[in-house]
Homo-oligomer: A and B are copies of this chain.
Amino acid sequence: MPNPHAATPARTKRAGAQLSPDAIIEASLRIAARGSADAFTVRRLGEELSADPTAIYRHFRDKDELLLSVADRTLGEVLDGIPGGLDWKGRLRALAAGSLRVALKYPAVASAMASRTTRRTNEFRIVELILGAVMEAGLSGQDAAVHYRMVGDSLLAHVGQRAAYLLFDPDVRAGDESSWNREYRRVDATAFPNITRLSSQLAEVTDDQIFEARVESLIAAIERKAEAVREA
């Protein structure tokens, strides 16, 4: 692409900030925040930075390493939204709500991280927070470790699942979204009596209801285990 300012040596292709890891991470966050309207690709990142798409390889080994850095930034946003002075249940609920909010804000990042670990500072802080909560609830040792993993993996899987959904193209999403009011309304009543009886209620369930039920079931599981340990 010819540069229209090539005759003015002081004006390089990028007039603004220097290309740096931080600048690349921030450009990635801007692209990811545009949701499905703008795919998070190396070429798009080049456009956003007004640089050649391959310029990022001077600052990150590959796209995966960039993804982990970007993801850890979004975990920072989650942590910033958790108020102090909450008990363990309040902290877990705030973490869950914040994780979902941030995941839906940067769907490409949350979707890609659903089975991953950033192995970076903000993830350490979140692990520390969840471990602190399950220990405050009364768990220790292996029980604390297992219940931490259950909470962490469940949250990651759920918010990743919700985020991935936002990235599908409109046709796919429309087909999936309408299924409770189309295919599931037309099943054979003799073969599928339960679906037939509950078809209206199934169509009415909201994502937020499901999320709340899942979070509360995690909290209840921790509480139940803590009680069992106390009684033993």
Q: Which of B128, B183, B205, B216 contacts A194 (CB 8 A)?
A: B128
CB of A128 to closest CB in B, whole Å? 5
The size of the chain A interface, using a CB distance under 8 A, is 62
Q: Contact check, A119 vs B161: say whether CB atoms are below 8 A apart.
A: no
Judged by a CB distance under 8 angstroms, whether A149 is at the interface is yes
Q: Contact check, A179 vs B144: say whether CB atoms are below 8 A apart.
A: no
A204 cross-chain contacts in B, Cβ below 8 A: 142, 145
Known: A204-B145, A210-B150. A124 touches B217 (CB 8 A): no
Q: Which of B149, B158, B194 contacts A135 (CB 8 A)?
A: B194
Q: Contact check, A161 vs B115: say whether CB atoms are below 8 A apart.
A: yes
A82 cross-chain contacts in B, Cβ below 8 A: none
Q: Contact check, B156 vs A124: say whether CB atoms are below 8 A apart.
A: no
22 contacts between A and B (CB under 8 A): A64-B172, A114-B114, A115-B161, A115-B162, A119-B183, A120-B183, A124-B183, A124-B192, A124-B195, A127-B194, A135-B194, A144-B201, A145-B202, A146-B213, A149-B205, A153-B161, A153-B210, A153-B214, A154-B157, A154-B214, A157-B158, A217-B218
The interface of chain A, by Cβ under 8 A from chain B, is 64, 114-117, 119-120, 124-125, 127-128, 131-132, 135, 141-142, 144-150, 153-154, 156-158, 160-162, 164-165, 168, 172, 175-176, 179, 182-184, 187, 191-195, 198, 201-202, 204-205, 209-210, 213-214, 216-218, 220-221, 224
5 cross-chain pairs, A with B, having the tightest CB-CB distances, nearest first: A131-B194, A145-B201, A217-B221, A157-B157, A119-B183
